[in-house]
């Protein structure tokens, strides 16, 4: 398989779904968090400000649940593999220079 075919195949592969974090890492949804979630859904202008507020309220928690125990928001780590294009251009090889990083993904329910 050529380098270009390998890159095309990798690029088109679907992402692996992120599993829900352990329930004990969730915080109880506060009124401020629920208000920020409501603002998140209003308009695009409110979206980014609400997203920042939600992340600030969650802090190190992976998410929050409502009073019935249902997740209302998650912010979990997710792996991402990317290509170091500078090295790829220099050598013409992909496999040796891919890198995997962890990112947190915010999902508002």
Summarised one tens digit per residue, pLDDT across range 69-78 is 999 999 999 8
pLDDT tens digits, residue range 75-89? Answer: 999 898 887 788 787
Both tokens assigned to 94: 């992909």
40 close to 46: Cβ distance less than 8 angstroms = yes
CA distance 46 to 51: 8
pTM: 0.50
Classify 30 as helix, strand or coil.
coil
Residue 2: the pLDDT is: 62
3 close to 94: Cβ distance less than 8 angstroms = yes
């Amino acid at each position: 398989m050529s380098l270009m075919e390998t890159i095309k195949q990798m690029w088109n592969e679907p992402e692996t779904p992120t599993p829900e974090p352990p329930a004990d890492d969730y915080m109880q949804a506060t009124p401020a968090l629920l208000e920020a979630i409501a603002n998140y859904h209003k308009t695009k202008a409110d979206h980014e400000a609400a997203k920042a507020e939600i992340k600030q309220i969650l802090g190190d928690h992976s998410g929050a649940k409502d009073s019935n125990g249902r997740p209302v928001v998650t912010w979990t780590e997710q792996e991402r593999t990317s290509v170091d294009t500078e090295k790829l251009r220099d050598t013409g090889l992909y496999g040796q220079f891919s890198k995997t990083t962890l990112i947190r993904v915010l999902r508002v329910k």
